[in-house]
Structure 1
Amino acid sequence: MSGFLKSAIAGTFCLLSLAAASQAQTFSNAFAGFGSSDKEPIQIEASELQVEDKSNSATFTGSVVVSQGETRMKTDHLKVFYDGSAAGDVQQKISRLEASGSVYISSKDQTATGDQASFDMTKEIMVMTGKEVVLSQGPNVVVGNKLTVNLKTGKADLQAPSSGRVKVLIQPNSLNKK
């Protein structure tokens, strides 16, 4: 956990807004697993797979589970776009992942849920959207409706719905426990 985040939880309204931004950044680690390591394979399991060679894509449906290292994603539907032929080394050539339907991502004690998520492996950007995008780390929770994470730098941006606000719940002393 970053030192900035620990010190940001001071209790004043001004510092609460800083804590919200810092809390969102810590969640970027949960997403950095996909595509950031060429040493770890990406494993995908599903009820059904359809490969579309002409569009260089593969569609997984039915209780889809994606794993890479300590990062795991569960979703109803996943479309994988790749460069080159499906007969080649697809994991090295994945250019984009698009997940939809109850997207759940976890890594260690961090989780994120939303309705849709896309991973652009070339730009190293992940975007998760939904009626509510909920990020949690232990008892701490951040809620918005659009999360954008730069997988390379770890910078995260959580936006509120047009008619709402980003919500943050930080439990006292929860970040001091290891």
Structure 2
Amino acid sequence: MSPSNRGKGPVVSIRGRLLAFALVLAVPAAAWAQGAQIAFGSLDHDASLPVEVTAESLSVDQGDGTAVFSGDVVVGQGTLRLSAARVLVVYGSGGAGSGKISRLEASGSVVLVLGEDAAQAQEAVYSIDTATIVMTGNVLLTQGDNAVEGQRLTVDLNRGTGAMEGRVRTVLTPASDKP
């Protein structure tokens, strides 16, 4: 190829081919980065177990069927632990007197621990009937040495799965065969 034709015409350089190959590989990675399915917790969680809540203070509103726990709130149900600065408890039909919780809305430094998995976020909503937890706002999920970040984590406690959305970023630790 003559110096005047360098970089012109149908001739594709090795650098160009590598760039094209990298772009082909990046398309699936970019799509994956928008949402990721992950295992979370274990299949042995029982959402019908009693929910225990401890906090610094409690206020109950019989009118709208809610209760607000605030100050170092810790919620426990079986092996599930959820902590936050504030937790709003929304009761089902019959209000607070029924004792039937519909959902928990946690806010302020929310941490969810189930088995060896842990996630933290700004807010979380635990829908008791569907056994789902939706965590939002700078979500960080850690599983052993691995971590996944995103803006929304939806956990299905019945299936032991989660889905991370919103510009997902992950750090994975490869297995090592070294002694």
Which interval holds the TM-score relative to the shorter structure? 0.7 to 0.9
SS of residue in 1 equivalent to 2:170: strand
Normalising by the residue count of structure 1, what TM-score does the alignment of the two structures yield? 0.72
Contact 1:111 1:136 in 2 (8 A): yes
- Identify which of 79, 83, 86 aligns with 2:96: 86
Structure 1 Cα separation of the partners of residues 59 and 77 of structure 2: 21
What are structure 1's unaligned runs of at least 5 residues?
1-11
Structure richer in helix, relative to its length: 1
SS of residue in 1 equivalent to 2:36: helix
Counterparts of 1:1-178 in structure 2, within 5 Å, are: 17=32, 21-22=36-37, 25-27=38-40, 29=41, 33=45, 36-38=46-48, 40-83=49-92, 84-88=94-98, 90=99, 93-130=100-137, 132-160=138-166, 165-173=167-175
Structure 1 Cα separation of the partners of residues 126 and 62 of structure 2: 20
Q: Kindly report the root-mean-square deviation, in angstroms, between the aligned alpha carbons of the 2 structures.
A: 2.9
CA distance change for structure 1 residues 113 and 31 in 2, over 3 Å: closer, same or farther?
farther
CA distance change for structure 1 residues 144 and 32 in 2, over 3 Å: closer, same or farther?
farther
Aligned-pair identity in percent equals: 35
In structure 1, the residue matched to 2:21 is: none
1:22-74 per-residue CA deviation (whole Å, 9 max, x = no partner) reads: 4xx212x27984xx432x32110000000111101100000000011111111
What are structure 2's unaligned runs of at least 5 residues?
1-24
Aligned length: 149
